[in-house]
Structure 1
């Protein structure tokens, strides 16, 4: 059984190596301006075809060794300046996104769209954002933040939609599970990193957060981080 698996892996690797030999990344037979143009088109095609943000490492597989992916992206963004869609940096990669000015037209058309955020209730969306701010966070912590219980069904719905995954066990009694956001969360909400999350006050203004609980949670996280720093320095 092990031998069959190893043989299958070997055949796959050999096929990939053969493909690499046949695929012309460098395009040395083309003049520089046509070579650059072809690389641009390749990068755009890969991003367009992908359902998830495409990383720099992935794009580097279809262009020359000395080609700057970032400069190619800059040129593509310039070409798309007058189009209803653009290239955006999300979740550590690039993805085509419709410009926000055309969102009403897209909604009015009722056409099915690919990717994006699943349909969440207002409360589910707020819980998801709270996890984004305070992760890793337990369900009990979330209930304190919102001033009411966050049910297991709410967490299960967010996990099922691919927005949450399990984090490390909490050091509190009982060692409950904590929850963290996933790369899909960043992609669905058009965020490059968690630093792009809106101000925490927006959640409180929506009336679903307890301001005192939020501040207490922020303070407790700060104290925990200071404790870790002190331990590390001993």
Structure 2
């Protein structure tokens, strides 16, 4: 009789619980978070597998974002949501290139970003990407000066509908989307943008 008090709900009920939590959450929910919310003995991992199959081909799909899960509009129906989107401030060319370098070379230090771009990156450019929650600080490199590294966030992956950084599009796709121009690569010939700085030393971001 005692064991029955801790018996997990039926699988169908567990799926309903997971579904409710994901729908109510504004942010993707990790498996650990689901486990902590559901009654003792539940198996949210199994519920997620079933739900992903159930929503496959529907207008709303259950997707994996990094280590978390969320409901998102089916990619082919995204055009129906255009009127609901709020246009954010546009990123400068320097910010777009910096973001692309971080995404494709993470973890990457500021010095490495500047080496690839050929110009110094202003603190404001990096701050803007961090403010948008698309870039965050990674671990410090075990090299002289112990510079911090930058990596993209789960918010970045979620915004672009990616499960992980491995799903990033190729350069051809980026140029087609207008995120890169037709230059063959980032090079010193780019010159300086308005928000770039001459290379005069490390930013305060890299001080201990």
Structure 2 length as normaliser, TM-score?
Answer: 0.69
1:126 maps to 97
Q: 2-side partners of 1:57 and 1:118: how far apart?
A: 32
Q: Following superposition of structure 1 onto structure 2, how do residues 74-223 of structure 1 map, counting pairs within 5 Å?
A: 74-107=49-82, 110-112=83-85, 120-121=90-91, 123=93, 124-170=95-141, 175-199=146-170, 202=173, 206-207=180-181, 211=185
Q: 2-side partners of 1:53 and 1:46: how far apart?
A: 10
Indicate the structure (1 or 2) with the bigger Cα radius of gyration: 1
1:55 maps to 30
Unpaired segments ≥5 residues, structure 1: 1-22, 28-34, 214-234
SS class of match (1:211): coil
Q: Which structure carries more helix by proportion?
A: 1
Q: Which structure carries more strand by proportion?
A: 2
Bigger shift: 152-161 or 138-147? 138-147
SS class of match (2:121): coil
1:33-65 Cα offsets, whole Å, 9 max, x none, are xx2221111000111111221111222231552
Bigger shift: 144-153 or 51-60? 144-153
Unpaired segments ≥5 residues, structure 2: 188-208
Structure 1 residue 84 displacement after superposition: 1.3
Structure 1 residue 88 displacement after superposition: 0.3
Instruction: Tell me how large the CA RMSD over aligned residues is.
Output: 3.2
